[in-house]
Amino acid sequence: MNSHQITILGAGSWGTALATVLDHNGHKVTLWMRSEQQKEAILKNQINSMYLPDILLSNSIFPETNARLALNNADVVILAIPTQQVRSVLKKYKEYIPASAFVVNVAKGIEKTTRLTISKIVEEELGEREFAVLSGPSHAEEVAMRLPTTLVAASSRRRMAEKAQNLFMNKYLRVYTNPDVIGVELAGALKNVIAFGAGIADGIGYGDNAKAALMTRGITEMARLGNVMGASLNTFAGLSGIGDLIVTCTSMHSRNRRAGILVGQGKSMEMALKEVGMVVEGVSTAQAVYELAQQHHVDLPITSAIYKVLYEKQDVKDAVYNLMTRSKKNEMEEIVENKPIEWDS
């Protein structure tokens, strides 16, 4: 395997976990962060105590706060920044990103102000680039512990998807390829909203039946919006769709589920976010997806209910009642047409 000079922008739990993977795979890894205190702590203790306190980092992973130095000579740049900060970081530091660098996004969300996925933000800010997105059912804690995990690398060009596959894949991290960039991005973003709803149901005290219903109808909503935005249904049946939805709705590693549990227990959104202590992508994504549904005239009842709980202060039990008493439906009438995705070499 060829060794690459890789810069990861963002030293949260996922960026740090992927740094351990790439270092294990023999690449030279620089981990960029804003906090000088965080950098010094990593250098001293080889632990990112705020995000992955139980993982000892290799001393060959180099933490850096100076973006110019971090990006110097990088041939791969990984975006592990919270979605709502991606544009501002790219605007500020794009002059330091080498023109030939391969850009891989690993964040999951939709920009609130524009309702764009990250591939579109990258295109607007950096122009046409070699680009791929990495997604799928993957808690950072488990990846850093080298527990078996499977992901998907998506790009409009097969060569770029396979390049990302080769960067990350090893004996404990298996990576598939996919041509459906918009589908993988939407699935990764939308599942956070549904997982927040699953957490609310857990917080109220509803049982497994309710969660199974929410997840099943949730994947239908995800596919419904994806269909009108040009995605393939196959993607939502895969790792970035149902796979990521399962893991995010059922695990306490999930920030979205944990925040939802707190809201279901009666805490405000602000209190829940403060208690979780890290970015909860589903909160901002819920607003963007609600507005996308209106823009595309798509019915997303679960997402709409979560939006109203978060942004219109609707009582959570009233929201559930409204979902349960909607007009009668035939499950099969909502299956949408599959769209094949063309893949350039």
To the query of whether residue 191 is one of the catalytic residues in this protein, the response is yes
Would the pLDDT of 343 be above 80? Answer: no
Task: Name the active-site residue from 191, 211, 274, 308.
Answer: 191
Alpha-carbon distance of 274 to 158, in angstroms, equals 41
Residue pLDDT, tens place only, 299-316: 999 999 999 988 998 888
Report whether 247 contacts 239 (CB < 8 A): no
Which residue blocks in the chain are alpha helix, DSSP H? 13-24, 36-45, 67-71, 83-93, 118-126, 140-144, 158-168, 181-204, 208-228, 233-236, 244-250, 255-264, 269-276, 281-296, 301-311, 316-324
Contact indicator for 225, 299 with CB cutoff of 8 Å: no
Measured CA to CA, the distance from residue 185 to residue 244 in angstroms comes to 12
Confidence of residue 334 (pLDDT cuts 50, 70, 90): low
First to last CA, the chain: 21
Strand-pair partners of 52? 48
- Give the confidence band of 332 by pLDDT, cuts at 50, 70, 90: low
Domain with CATH 1.10.1040.10 in the chain: 182-334
8-state DSSP, 9: E
Residues constituting the chain: 345
Per-residue pLDDT tens over the stretch 208-222 = 998 999 999 999 999
- Tell me, what's the pLDDT at 1? 64
Conformation bin of residue 266: beta by default, left when phi > 0, alpha when psi is -120 to 50? left
Instruction: State the sign of the Cα–Cα–Cα–Cα dihedral 116, 118, 119, 122.
Output: positive
As a whole number, mean pLDDT of residues 108-117 equals 94
Q: Where in the chain is the domain with CATH 3.40.50.720?
A: 5-179
Round to whole Å and give the CA distance between 321 and 319: 5
Strand partners for 176: 152
Confidence of residue 254 (pLDDT cuts 50, 70, 90): confident
Residue 335 has pLDDT above 60, yes or no: no
Contact 165, 175 (CB under 8 A): yes
- The CATH class, in words, for 182-334 is mainly alpha
Rounded CA gap, 78 and 31, in Å?
Answer: 10
Bridge partner residues of 174 (DSSP): 150
Q: How far apart are CA 86 and CA 69, in angstroms?
A: 19
- Taking the CA atoms of 217, 218, 224 and 227 in sequence, report the sign of the dihedral they define: negative
DSSP, res 58: P
User: For residues 161 and 123, what is the distance between their CA atoms, to the nearest angstrom?
Assistant: 17
- The pLDDT confidence band at residue 336, using thresholds 50, 70 and 90, is low
* Gyration radius (Cα) of the chain, Å: 20
Distance CA 140, CA 57 (A): 14
Read off the tokens for 154.
């998506």
The domain made up of 5-179 has a fold known as: Rossmann fold (3.40.50)
CA pair distance 289, 112, nearest whole angstrom:
9
